[in-house]
Structure 1
Amino acid sequence: MKDDSREKRRRELMPRIALLACLALVVASLGLGWSPGRPKEPAEPPFSEQARSAALTETLRLRAAGEQLGTSTAGDPQPAVARTVSLLTSHSRALLVPGHDAPAAPASPGIATAAASSAVPSGVPSAVPSAVPLPASAAALATELAASASQRLADASVADGGMARLLAAVGTAQLLQASALAAAVGAPASAVPDPAAPQLSGACPSAAPASPSSSGPSSGSIPGFSAGADAAAASLPGALAATVESELETVYGYQVALTRLGGPAAGPASEQLARHEALAAGAEELSRMHCAPVPPRAAGYTMAPAFLASPAAGLGGLEASALPVYGDLVALSEGQTRQWAIAGLVGAARRSALWGADTGVLPGLAADPNQFPELPAPAPAVTPTP
């Protein structure tokens, strides 16, 4: 009887044990399902975004240095420093992406704080680290401005089309302003060289001309593409053709100007004529390399009466008119073609300044600075409690 009772109790307990085991498995599985997984690391931003953010940070730092130098001159700020601050303000606004960047001016004199570099993603090679001392003199500002320009131009050679054009424009303007600032304060010229054009090499891979779809991004994807550019020009073959035509017209302009220029202006004009003949030949060679048709050379061009009356100013206008042409080529090309275009953009800006023409705040980029986003107001200074 006792054995029967034990067996009966054992049979009654088995369903309960099985139910408890099932409940334990359910609880364990729910616990595994509810346990938080390892958060995914954020994806690294594209190079173009890293380059833009680094350019913004460095531009803000140099702008803060210029403002500090302007207020430390006992009420007599240097005009060249003021022009530098104005240029860097425009560049900061052009590089700003509203809603993504929250830069602030350095809070401590002479230091670029972490707040100013918070807009830069971690791991950006050209980003400015926190607590970087600001240049303490106008000469030092000119030197660091030239270094910033060199970095912007280097980043432009590998960034995406539209961003490459913006970075090239920023770098070109900063390079010119660094030279102007150094000359204004009697400082030696920067040791940073202008970008050099590469030795062109290559051949057309086929006899068929390249189509716009295979020649780089369209104008619709390029911020600041030249106003009025037609669909044919918004391609690499179109940009190369425009470059050839611009250089050939400039060659003709220099030939005409040399018959009217005298004195010290004749020597530089003769040198620049040879330079433009080489640029026209280079643009034609690039056209053949990309299977693009080479525009025929015209017998001559019609020069406006104002050009004939004032050839030096006319040459400045010719040089300045080439800036958006080279800007288009920067945006629509890559590799050695883009490097050649960047060198051409800087050279055209240098020659424009040589003849007294205004290159604007962003040489090679058709943009209205008044339409740039406003910079956020600087954070209020925190007064330490005694």
Structure 2
Amino acid sequence: MLVLTRRSLLALGALGGAQLVLCGCTDDGGSPDQERKKADADLPLRTRAVAATDQLLAGYDAVLAGPGAAQADRLRALRAEVTEHRAALATGLPAASATASASATAAGAPVTTAAQLAAAERTTAGARLADLSAASPELAKLLAVVSAAGALHAAALGDTAPVTAPAAAVPTPTASTPAASGSAASTPAASGSTASGSAPAKTPLPAAEATALQTALAAEHAAVYGYGVVGARQPVGPQRTDAQTSYLAHQAARDAWQRLLNSGGATPTAAAPGYQLPFPVADAAGAKQLAAHIEVQLTGVYAALVAATSGELRQRAAAALREAALAARHWGADQTALPGLPAAGGATPSPSASA
């Protein structure tokens, strides 16, 4: 197996490094006054998110207080994570704003069962996406991460319906951010020419977005390679089928980012001739651990992509983050309350070694 060359951006075992590169590209070196204005603009968004989180916490309390609450231990664990979400969302809020949202809990539909709670998690996860376009880069990243966590919670409680943002919250695609079609970006007009017969002009991507997309593309190149190893180590059966499905999904994501970079006048990052695996993969258990590792690391890549982009592209990055988080859960990864952000102490969540 060839080892990753120095010209390549990352290896499978170092996908976490891409998070640092990608986060760095969002630093605009703004003045203290600019930073204060950003924080002020985020205040109503944070207040709204905290109010929605309080509704969820009230729902957890109502279900846990019910007679013979099923899955009590799981519910308590999920509630603890929601409490972490609230603390993160309330950062920077005045004390009065951070506590006043409790009165909003009565406005939501009553939650008395685990099924209703799962639906509330899914709905709230979608609502988190409504403020992505208006949020500062760092708040947008947090909102996308919390939305992904809400999707994980809903799935853990049995609700696997798609998480979608309110229709009015999704920006209209522009020339620089083609609309998604399934898991791939749409391409320019099929004719490839204007009325005069010349090739249509490409709208250059902003430098920060192009850099962020190149990082995401490099990560998907590595993921495609990794899933080739995962599939080869799985016996014929459901897990091999899952590996093949994931392999195709990451190929589609890779192709979508390549098309978007091409349409923005950038030369897409090429795949490396080979990648260094983060650990030996000799059997199905190791393959499952590798798949979990790939997806956990991709949550960080896509969380940073949310912060580096805007508009419809930011929504797509948030969707990719959510899908990576759900895939990591499928492969048995142990995740933090905020998938895509560093765990306490800066450590990256480790995938489970269970078969």
Q: With structure 2 as the length reference, what TM-score do the two structures score? A: 0.70
Change (3 A) 1:75 1:319: closer
What does 1:308-323 align with in structure 2 at a 5 Å threshold?
A: 308-309=282-283, 310-323=286-299
Relative to structure 1, the CA distance from residue 48 to residue 293 in structure 2 (aligned partners, 3 Å threshold; closer, same or farther) is farther
Change (3 A) 1:130 1:103: farther
Q: Matched residues in 2 for 1:345 and 1:75: separation?
A: 32
The amino acid across from 1:56 in the alignment is V
Match among 31, 50, 54 for residue 56 of structure 1: 50
Checking the alignment, whether the CA contact within 8 Å between 1:103 and 1:117 is kept in structure 2 is: no
Q: Which residue in 1 is equivalent to 2:91?
A: 97
Q: Is the 8 A contact 1:70 1:81 kept in 2?
A: yes
- 2:170 maps to what in 1? none
Structure 2 residue runs without a partner (length 5+) = 1-38, 166-178, 189-200, 347-355
- Counterpart among 263, 266, 271 of residue 245 in structure 2: 271
Post-superposition offset of 1:367: 5.5
Q: Whole-Å Cα distance in 2 between the matches of residues 358 and 157 of structure 1?
A: 30
Contact 1:200–1:336 (Cα < 8 Å) also in 2 = no
Asked whether the 8 Å contact 2:58–2:105 carries over to 1, the reply is: no
What is the distance in 2 between the residues matched to 1:304 and 1:50? 42
Query: What letter is aligned with 1:341?
Result: A
Q: Does 1:139 align with 2:115?
A: yes
How far off its partner does 1:284 sit? 1.5
Structure 2 match to 1:39: none
User: Which structure has the greater CA radius of gyration?
Assistant: 1
Is the partner of 2:342 in helix, strand or coil?
A: coil
1:200 and 2:198 matched: no
Which of 300, 313, 333 matches 1:337?
313
SS of alignment partner, residue 357 of structure 1? coil
Separation in structure 2 between the aligned mates of residue 333 and residue 141 of structure 1, nearest angstrom? 32
Map 1:106-121; keep pairs closer than 5 Å.
115-117=100-102
Cα deviation for residue 174 of structure 1 reads 0.5
Quick check: 1:294 aligned with 2:294?
A: no
Q: Where does residue 281 of structure 2 map in the other structure?
A: 307
- Residue pair 2:231, 2:244 contacting (<8 A) in 1 also: yes
Q: Post-superposition shift, 1:73?
A: 4.3
Q: Give the C-alpha shift of residue 130 in structure 1.
A: 4.8
- CA drift of 1:293 comes to 3.6
For 2:263, the aligned partner's letter is M
Task: Sort the Cα spacing of 1:166 and 1:193 in 2 relative to 1 into closer, same or farther, 3 A.
Answer: closer
SS in 2 for 1:306: coil
Shift of 1:288: 2.4
Q: Who is 1:253 aligned against?
A: 226
Residues 339 and 289 of structure 1, relative CA distance in 2, 3 Å threshold? farther
Letter in 2 for 1:175: A
TM-score, scaled relative to structure 1: 0.64
- Aligned 1:4-15 pairs, distance under 5 A: none
2:339 corresponds to: 363
Identity percentage of aligned residues = 29
Alpha carbons of structure 1 residues 296 and 169: separation in structure 2 relative to 1, 3 Å: same
CA distance in 2, matches of 1:132, 1:191: 20
Equivalence map 1:125-164=2 (5 Å)? 128=104, 130-164=106-140
1:382 is aligned to none
**SS of equivalent to 2:96:** coil
Per-residue CA deviation, residues 189-214 of structure 1 (Å, 9 max, x unaligned), is 354545694543566325xxx6xxx5
Tell me if the contact between 1:153 and 1:172 (Cα under 8 Å) persists in the aligned partners. no
Check if 1:72 corresponds to 2:66: yes
Provide the C-alpha distance between the structure 1 equivalents of 2:137 and 2:93, rounded to a whole number of angstroms. Answer: 23
Does the 8 Å contact 1:149/1:174 carry over to 2?
A: yes
- CA distance in structure 2 between the partners assigned to 1:98 and 1:321 by the alignment: 28
SS in 1 for 2:281: helix
Q: How many residues align?
A: 278
The secondary structure found in structure 1 opposite 2:101 is coil
Cross-structure match for 2:168: none
Q: Distance in 1 between matches of 2:107 and 2:77?
A: 25
Q: What value does the CA root-mean-square deviation take over the aligned residues?
A: 3.0
Secondary structure of the 1:116 match is helix
Q: Please list every run of 5 or more consecutive structure 1 residues that lacks an aligned counterpart in the other structure.
A: 1-44, 106-114, 119-127, 184-188, 216-234, 371-386
Mapped contact 2:292–2:328 kept (Cα < 8 A): yes
Q: Select the residue among 57, 79, 85 that pairs with 1:85.
A: 79
Aligned AA for 1:204? K
How far does the alpha carbon of each residue in 1:121-178 deviate from its partner, in whole angstroms, 9 at most, with x for none?
xxxxxxx575545411111111111100010023224422211111000011011111
Q: Secondary structure at the match of 1:347?
A: helix
- Asked if 2 retains the 8 angstrom alpha-carbon contact of 1:164 and 1:331, the reply is yes
Q: Does 1:241 align with 2:214?
A: yes
